[in-house]
Copies of this chain bind each other. A is one copy, B any other.
Amino acid sequence: MPVAIAVDCMGGDHGAGVTVPASLGFLEKNKDCSVFLVGNESVIFNELKKLKFDKKRVSVRDATQVVTMQDEPTQALRGKRDSSMRVTIDLVKEGTADAAVSAGNTGALMGISRFVLKMLPGIQRPAIASLLPSLKGHTCVLDLGANVKCEAEHFLQFGVMGACLFSAIGGKTKPSIGLLNIGEEDIKGNEVVKAASDLLKKSGLNFSGNVEGSDIYIGQTDVIVCDGFVGNVALKTSEGLTQMLAQYLKEEFDKGYLSRFAGLMALPVIKQFRRRVDHRRYNGASLLGLRGIVVKSHGAADSFSFEFALEKAFGEVKNNMLNEISARMSEINEDVS
């Protein structure tokens, strides 16, 4: 089945200079796919002129406005109805495209997606989910910043959505689910987390109890649920730490002739290591809970990185993730009632 992806070409720090070549790179690898490139027509055609591509699989959709990083969600929603972001999501709503990808303002993307696409039945809040590398493979963590305050039932919904995403991308039928807490014992944590634990236990999901921050990267659990404040801090802390460690390693190899020689010898190994921990390969957070597939790329993504976000959207379409979430949510609602 051919799959069409709508791409917000104007979003992110680099706009069409990154999104257009990445989209064509993606098409090159996935012969069954087509893309809708959305944004300022002349800017997009200007980028397309520089590159070779299969014209039958590329459509350009003009949009006269751009959502900026400073725009409030409501501003973007009401004041910019012809933004590239809005037109991209509209293409999914009307069924022209199977998924949307944007590197733009997260809050605005969430607001527009929620307004245009609406929520799946049984899901009250959308969540941002991403797969992070672990010692065992990868861990799906959500919410990474959509909801700064959550109630217990939201954690349960995150569990269902995370499990479906992990199945769709990770290929495991009944992934294990952990609740991010400050200790493994049941008595730990605040009231909301304790109540969430009770709901998850009764849910029929493969719930393995409380986990700690370290478990994200140890990888004993497939899916880890948390509120968006905590998840965002965990994610950003990881980015900062990785940056510091990379800098330290560089500094050590730069100290004196002997170290520099050792660095030269070790270069292929270090390169391989860098490749493995390259955060660009993990680009693309899924906006879950919507009646449509939307993937958010990192704003600073380069073309290499943006392609991974497109691949992620394609994976969710291929594996029918939306139907999975709806089906599992209705099972859960039957169980609970």
A interface vs B, CB < 8 Å?
72, 133-135, 145, 148-149, 180, 182, 187, 189-191, 193, 212-218, 226, 228-230, 232-245, 247-249, 252-253, 255, 258-259, 261-263, 265-266, 268-270, 272-273, 276-277
- Contact yes or no, B238 A241, CB < 8 A: yes
- How often does this chain occur in the complex, in copies? 2
Query: Cβ of A236: which chain B residues have Cβ within 8 Å of it?
Result: 182, 212-214
Cα–Cα distance between A265 and B263 once the two chains are bound (Å) = 8
CA A261 to CA B262, docked complex, whole Å: 10
Closest 5 pairs (CB-CB, A-B): A213-B236, A214-B240, A213-B237, A217-B240, A266-B266
9 extra interface residue pairs, beta carbon distance < 8 Å, beyond A214-B239, A218-B240: A212-B240, A216-B240, A216-B241, A218-B243, A237-B238, A245-B245, A252-B276, A265-B265, A266-B269
Kindly list chain B residues whose C-beta atoms are within 8 Å of the C-beta of A218: 240, 243-244
Question: Are B233's CB and A213's CB within 8 A?
Answer: yes
Residues on B with C-beta less than 8 A from A255 are 269, 272
Nearest Cβ distance between residue A64 and chain B, in whole angstroms? 27
| Pairwise interchain contact B234-A252, C-beta atoms closer than 8 A | no
Q: How far is the CA of A105 from the CA of B160 in the complex (A)?
A: 35
Q: Which residue of B lies closest to A275 (CB)?
A: B252
Residue of B nearest to A144 (CB): B182
CA distance A106 to B239 in the complex (A): 28
A245 touches B182 (CB 8 A): no
Residues of chain B within 8 A (CB-CB) of A259 are 268-269
Provide the residues of chain B in CB contact with A240, threshold 8 Å.
212-218
Note all chain B residues with C-beta closer than 8 A to A268: 258-259, 262
Residues on B with beta carbons closer than 8 Å to the beta carbon of A213: 232-240
